[in-house]
Structure 1
Amino acid sequence: MATSFDMFGTLVSVERPADPAAAVARELRERDVAVPDDWEAAYREVHVDAPDGAEIPLPAHVSAALASRGADAPANAARRAVVAAFDPEVATLEGAVAAVRAAGERGPVGLLSNCSVPELVGRTLVRSGLSRDDFDAIVSSVACGWRKPDARAFETVADRLGEPVDSLVHVGDDPATDGGVRAAGGAFLDASERPLPELATAWRAGAEVDGC
């Protein structure tokens, strides 16, 4: 059995900026970028045309928002500003480590996270009780180009686990996004209904779990 886990809200919690536009603006100014006076409005507007289900990397959005106001972020200033603005404080949720490792005793394990910020998934893992070694594949939407619930996100992690997507069990806390695995042919386990410590105990005991 192949298992994938959502990250944010399922395995870890992170402190997010209360005002993302302001946080990005502050980091842009730290890098000598002239931030437009109506930055809040520019940040909220859509600037990048993308297919349904596609992920728009936040640095690309920020660069396009600046350009829409005649401003420019030289070199990779937009990326560096975004990464700094979302630098996380991380708390590992109860049962996360046990559930991931119990799943690993049953088959390959992946991480599948919606995240538009480059480097954030990796930084979060480093600061959590988990590590890259706990996963056979790590897929973020900013890297693969597709956001859950799009089937292509689940197909990507299944492919990297070397398994067909219809054998994938995805564990997450959001039925609207994580539950998209069902449309791809896989099974969904709602961590808000089946807590991770309970899942870990059931898997290690070899007990049947609804959905897998």
Structure 2
Amino acid sequence: MAVSFDLFGTLVDVSYPENPARAVAAELDARGVAVPNDWDDAYREVHIDAPDGAEVPLPAHVSAALASRGVDAPNNAPRHAVVSAFDPDVTRRPGAREAVAAAAARGPVGLLSNCSVPELVGRTLVRADIARDDFDAITTSVACGWRKPHPDAFTTVAGALGVDVSDLIHVGDDPETDGGITELGGTFVDVADVPLSSFPAWLEDRWG
């Protein structure tokens, strides 16, 4: 048995930009990139043909959106702009650390997060005062290339934890994405039904 946790909406709450396109545009402008007049349209368009379920890193999308309007963005400006634009306030959810510790007492523990922004997961953990060392594996969609509920997202974290995916318990807040583990024979724990504060008791009841 192993347990993986979703991050955003499960272990932490974060504040995102109300208008991501404008937030990225402001950071691009601050780096001397000529933001096109129709940036909102460019940002919403699909520019990279990715397989169904694949993650497109947001800096790659921003670079492609700029290129579609003939704008060159040197010196890795899109990556720096995206990282700065998505710099949220973070609140650790009640019971988060206790839930992770309870899981760790019974087996390997992973983090599995859909996140297209580089560095965001690491910075979020720091601001939530959750140690990276609390996890045996941290898997993000921007790193592994697949977003939950794609099977490869779950098999990647299960493999990193050294268990078969059918032996994985995944804790999350979204039945549409996190619940995809059930298609692979694993177990989904919805924090709407089992709050983090109740998760240690849930584990005790089922696994001793």
Same fold (TM over 0.5): yes
Give the aligned partner of residue 107 of structure 1: 107
Structure 1 match to 2:98: 98
- After superposition, what is the alpha-carbon deviation per residue over 1:28-51, rounded to whole angstroms, capped at 9, x for unaligned? 001000000000000000000000
Post-superposition shift, 1:155?
Answer: 0.2
Aligned residues: 208
1:5 equivalent in structure 2 = 5
SS at match of 1:111: strand
Q: Take 1:74 and 1:175, find their aligned partners in 2: how far apart are those partners?
A: 40
**Counterpart amino acid of residue 94 in structure 2:** E
Aligned partners of 1:77 and 1:59: how far apart in 2? Answer: 9
Distance in 2 separating the partners of 1:201 and 1:186: 19
Moved more, 183-192 or 171-180: 183-192
Residue identity in the other structure for 1:139:
T
If the length of structure 1 is used for normalisation, what is the TM-score?
0.96
In the alignment, the residues of structure 1 paired with residue 165 and residue 195 of structure 2 have an alpha-carbon distance, to the nearest angstrom, of 24
How many Å apart are 1:207 and its aligned residue? 1.3
Hey, what's the Cα distance between the residues in 2 that align with 1:71 and 1:84?
A: 20
Secondary structure in structure 2 of the residue aligned to 1:60: helix
Structure 1 stretches of 4+ moved >4 Å: none
Match of 1:139 in 2: 139
> Residue 26 of structure 1 aligns to a residue in which SS?
helix
1:144-165: CA deviation from partner (whole Å, max 9, x where unpaired): 0000000000000000001111
| Matches of 1:175 and 1:79, distance apart in 2 | 31
* Alignment correspondent of 1:17: 17
Residue identity in the other structure for 2:14: V
1:176 partner letter? E
Match of 1:186 in 2: 186
* Structure 2 counterpart of 1:208: 206
CA contact (8 A) 1:3 1:168 kept: yes
SS state of the match for residue 56, structure 1? coil
Secondary structure of the residue that 2:206 maps to in structure 1? coil
Name the SS for the 2:110 alignment partner. strand
Tell me the SS of whatever aligns to 1:207.
helix
Structure 1 SS opposite 2:205: coil
Query: Using the alignment, how far apart are the partners of 1:164 and 1:75 within structure 2?
Result: 42
| Counterpart position of 1:34 | 34
Instruction: Please state how far the C-alpha of 1:185 moved relative to its aligned partner.
Output: 2.1
Q: Residue 3 of structure 1: SS of its match in structure 2? A: strand
* Stretch deviating more after TM superposition (186-195 or 3-12): 186-195
Could you tell me which runs of 5 or more consecutive residues in structure 1 were left unpaired when the two chains were aligned. Answer: none
Cα distance in 1 for residues equivalent to 2:177 and 2:46: 21
Name the SS of the counterpart of 1:73 in structure 2. coil
Residue pair 1:110, 1:139 contacting (<8 A) in 2 also: yes
- Give the distance between the partners of 2:155 and 2:114, measured in 1 at CA: 14
Normalised TM-score (structure 2): 0.98
Uncovered stretches (5+) of structure 2, i.e. residues with no partner: none
Is 2:60 the partner of 1:60?
A: yes
What is the alpha-carbon root mean square deviation over aligned residues? 1.2
Task: Return the alpha-carbon distance in structure 2 between the equivalents of residues 170 and 200 of structure 1.
Answer: 14
